Structure 1
Amino acid sequence: MSKSTKVSNPNSKGGSGFIWAIVAVVAIAAVVIGYIVMSGQGKKTEHLAERETIDVAFESEFSDNAVTLRSADAKADAEVVDLYEDFSCSYCGQLAVNTDEQMQAAVEEGDLVVNVRTLNFLDRGSIDGHSTRAAAAVLALAEAGETDAYWNLRAYLMEDQQDIYNKWSNDDFADAAKQFGASDETVEKIRSGENVEPTNALATANADKLNTETGSVSSPRVIQDGQDVEVADINQWMDVVLG
């Protein structure tokens, strides 16, 4: 006599229990993944809490596709320049390291007014590139009038460019801004990425302006009266401009 094989109905109570077991495993996995993501958020910028920050004694005005750095006591004959920079440009980073302190002093003394014009041509047309997203974070601070946070975040993104290039999300930029004292409103604006597209348009306009005035787009550049400041070493541009 042959034995009959009984096939279980997957819709029976036994099958139902198996399905619920799978659901439970998936739910636990989701919780674990969520915990890992949440616990990891902010880890990339925790060290910024220990970083020495700089308090500046000048104002920043966001207009005409630029951040204008000007002392409240700027002299009537203060020299005015356009500084073009790209957050993916290593030479821009080196220029910031070498000259930001001198530039800050000259602006605070009222001898110099600087229009910082952000470029993103090194993103090569990608709106999600590092240059654009870094600029969006920094410009959000300038637009909100949070000058100290703007200056410190810009300095960090330039000085530590090699360590963070193409590794940060909007969350990371937002967390960094928070570490530098940005308001909750501005932090959330950075986190949402809502000003990334406008920043791309701004950077494109700056590139067009630079190309119209000089016939080429590159960085870093210091422009005065529509022409490049003539200097053998761009790190010495203030010596030429300020005489």
Structure 2
Amino acid sequence: MSSRTTYALGAVAVVVIALIVFFAFRWGSDGAEVRNDGYGTVRDEAVTVDLQSDGGVRLGRPEAPKTIEIYEDPMCPACGSLETLYGQEIAQKVDEGKLAVRYRFVNFLDPKSSSGDYSTRATAALQCVADAGPAVTFAKFHDTLFTDRQPEEGSGLTDEELASLATGAGAPEPALDCITDGTRRTQAQDQAGAAVDDLAAALDGDAATPAVFDVATKIDVNEPEWVQQVAP
């Protein structure tokens, strides 16, 4: 799968910051292999989830020796492909304690949703669920938003629909209230914008999703063995 789209981000004073977003996956419905198909999402209760001060979400055992960073937009189809193809393999590595994941959510595609802010609201919902825990609930909710229920461009999910999906993943009442009340929406928007800046800096000005990093090294996620190579 590949597509190329340009999104102009807003102006600060008279300076307009423009980022070009490239979706450059070679995957799609052409027979790409789903890794560890049948494993499912994170299931080990020893795994923890941590909503961090910058809005990032760390999923993994505290003692995991390796942490990768994944930048994703909740509406990005290539991000959905990443999760469909590699999400179960990543989940097994997380359960085994070999790997932790730090998710950085961005909102490039807000203008492409029917509400004009879906990526921001989905990011806020993910943060609400991460903050309430447990890790297995966050993992299920995250997987649902990026695979089975990821909306196409021009559409989106309402806050009520997001809360319903969170309920299905096992989220407690405080997380649901956080989603429907929009408690984290403004903060999530600011944090997603900061994540855009961080991603653009890491990619020399071109903010592209999905992007996976092992510390400062960008991982080639078109290489089918990349998860195994990062966490043997």
Structure 1 residues 212 and 125, CA gap change in structure 2 (3 angstroms): farther
More helix by share: 1
How many residue pairs end up in the alignment?
A: 188
Counterpart residue number, 1:139: 127
Partners in 2 of 1:80 and 1:120 — Cα distance?
23
What secondary structure sits across from 1:182 in the alignment? coil
Q: 1:85 aligns to what?
A: 72
Q: Deviations over 1:20-71 (max 9, x none)?
A: xxxxxxxxxxxxxxxxxxxxxxxxxxxxxxxx98634311111133111121
Give me the CA root mean square deviation: 2.4
Q: TM-score, normalised by structure 2?
A: 0.72
> Larger C-alpha radius of gyration, 1 or 2?
1
* Partner Cα distance (1:151, 1:145) in 2: 10
Shift of 1:200: 0.9
Aligned residue for 1:68, secondary structure, equals strand
Pairing 1:223-234 to 2, within 5 Å after superposition: 223-229=213-219, 231=220, 233=222
Shift of residue 225, structure 1, vs aligned partner: 2.4
| Residue of structure 1 in register with 2:3 after alignment | none
1:116 partner SS = strand
Alignment partner of 1:198 out of 176, 184, 187:
187
Instruction: State the AA in 2 paired with 1:222.
Output: V
Please, what TM-score do these two structures have when normalized by structure 1? 0.69
**Identity %, equivalent residues:** 26
- Which letter does structure 2 place at the counterpart of 1:140? C
Q: For residue 174 of structure 1, what is the aligned residue in structure 2?
A: 163
1:70 corresponds, among 52, 56, 60, to: 60
Consecutive unaligned residues of structure 1, counting only runs of 5 or more, are 1-51
CA–CA separation in structure 2 for the residues paired with 1:167 and 1:125: 9
Say if 1:73 and 1:80 are closer, same or farther in 2 by CA, change over 3 A: closer
Residues 238 and 170 (structure 1), Cα distance of their counterparts in 2 relative to 1, 3 Å cut: same
Aligned equivalents of 1:171 and 1:83: distance in 2? 27
Residue aligned with 2:58, SS: strand
